[in-house]
Amino acid sequence: MKAIIEIRSGEGGKDAKLFIVDMMKMYVKYCEKKKISFDVLHIGDSEITIEVEGNIDNLVKYEPGVHRVQRVPPTESKGRRQSSTITVAILPLSKSSFDLNMSEVRIETFRGQGPGGQHRNTSDTGIKAIHEPTKTIAVCSKGRSQHRNKQIALDLLRARLEKVNVENCNNQKQGARKSQIGCSGRAEKTRTYNFIENRVKDTRLKKPLYSLDKVMQGSLDKIYDKIA
């Protein structure tokens, strides 16, 4: 099975944006442990997308929703605690039956990220595909091939639009993630990561787990095994 994991910052300002990077690293480490193929498609200021393929049933079942982090942010100099949220949505990338009318799609290019340093992209290889009727957006900046990035962005756009179509979402502008992440408020949390107490609490668990350090290193099975 192939899917896209979307990680977006919610409430909490800078720390929410920092936490989406931490979550990306957690999912990457989980994929490495489980031998799941992955590809980071785009790292933006407030959104990260990862393509995953393999045995991802647990990711699809248990990860979508609002995730809350409680900690002293790395940027906090006075030791003040903060509570922030991020959202996770997962979109299957099976063969989409959605008929995408390209006349309704606007393509924008931007400087691709590249791996950094002397190899950092110096040309506009990043692609943003915008479905004008719904304002749904898909972005890919993973490599130096503009053609490949465009293909991936359009596949993701189809997946988002098909999800909207299947769920008959009333507000298409909120895209395919609406039913999974709500309004990204602190009260809608699926899981809470308390770094101060090394505690992770999932709404589907009766008791919290005091092994957040291991969970953040990709040991998500510590949660999944308790849910199952």
SS3 of 113-179: CCCCHHHCCCCCCEEEEEECCCCEEEEECCCCCHHHHHHHHHHHHHHHHHHHHHHCCCCHHHCCCHH
Looking at the structure, do residues 15 and 82 belong to the same domain, yes or no? yes
For residue 213, the enclosing domain spans: 2-94+177-227
Please check whether residue 203 is in contact with residue 190, taking contact to mean a CB–CB distance below 8 angstroms.
yes
Looking at the structure, do residues 182 and 81 belong to the same domain, yes or no? yes
- Our separate counts of H helices and E strands in the chain read 6, 10
List the chain pLDDT tens, one digit each, 228 residues.
899 999 999 998 899 999 999 999 999 999 999 999 999 999 999 999 999 999 999 999 999 999 999 999 888 878 889 999 999 999 888 665 678 899 999 999 987 654 444 444 556 889 999 999 999 999 998 877 889 899 899 988 988 888 777 665 444 445 555 556 555 555 457 999 999 999 999 999 999 999 999 999 999 999 999 986
**Overall domain count for the chain:** 2
Looking at the structure, do residues 111 and 85 belong to the same domain, yes or no? no
Looking at the structure, do residues 115 and 10 belong to the same domain, yes or no? no
CA–CA dist 26, 31 (Å, integer): 9
| CATH code where residue 139 lies | 3.30.160.20
Looking at the structure, do residues 6 and 62 belong to the same domain, yes or no? yes
Please check whether residue 63 is in contact with residue 6, taking contact to mean a CB–CB distance below 8 angstroms.
no
The domain boundary residue, chosen from 145, 174, 203: 174
Contacts 24+ apart (CB under 8 A), 146-151: 146/109, 146/112, 149/112, 149/125, 150/107
CA–CA dist 26, 20 (Å, integer): 10
Residue with tokens 């990457």: 28
The whole-number pLDDT of residue 95 equals 60
Looking at the structure, do residues 139 and 198 belong to the same domain, yes or no? no
State the pTM of this model. Answer: 0.81
Looking at the structure, do residues 56 and 168 belong to the same domain, yes or no? no
Looking at the structure, do residues 30 and 90 belong to the same domain, yes or no? yes
Looking at the structure, do residues 86 and 13 belong to the same domain, yes or no? yes
| CATH code where residue 77 lies | 3.30.70.1660
Looking at the structure, do residues 88 and 185 belong to the same domain, yes or no? yes
The whole-number pLDDT of residue 169 equals 43
Looking at the structure, do residues 186 and 204 belong to the same domain, yes or no? yes
CA–CA dist 7, 122 (Å, integer): 26
CA–CA dist 206, 214 (Å, integer): 19
Buried-state track 39-60, b at ≥16 Cβ within 10 A, e below 16: ebbbbeeebbbbbbeeebebbe
